[in-house]
Amino acid sequence: MSYNKIPKKVLEDAIVQQLKLVYDPEIPVDIYNLGLIYDIEIDDDQNVKILMTLTAPNCPVADSLPEEVKTRVKATHGVKNVEVELTFDPPWSKDFLSDEAKLILGMM
């Protein structure tokens, strides 16, 4: 193992912290707790692929939100390259909200 590589779990935790700084402009909850992040893949070279969705296909931030995710994740120490893939399968629903998000939104 190279000394400059960060363990995947540590890197993933750092990426999640960055994602928690990105908010959907219409809902006062970060995109991670909203359940918009479906998957985080980190390869052995510390390249990252994020699979995400939006609350709706016609979301007004459909262009800017994935770019903000890419910028935030790229800024994470140890990340080399970032690819963000947008999907609507499965479509986002309130079932994807974390307990923290439900609490913030008064759903608990």
> What is the residue extent of each domain of the chain?
8-99
Residue 54 has pLDDT above 90, yes or no: yes
Beta strand 48-52 pairing with 82-86: parallel
Query: Per-residue pLDDT for 3 more than 80?
Result: no
Report which secondary-structure segment, H or E, holds 84.
strand 82-86
Task: Decide which of 3.40.50.2300, 3.30.1490.190, 3.30.300.130, 3.40.50.300 is the CATH code for 8-99.
Answer: 3.30.300.130
Q: Is 71 helix (H, G, I), strand (E, B) or coil?
A: helix
- What pLDDT is attached to residue 58? 85
CA distance 26 to 42: 30
One-letter identity of residue 28: P
**What gap in Å lies between CA 45 and CA 77, rounded to an integer?**
13
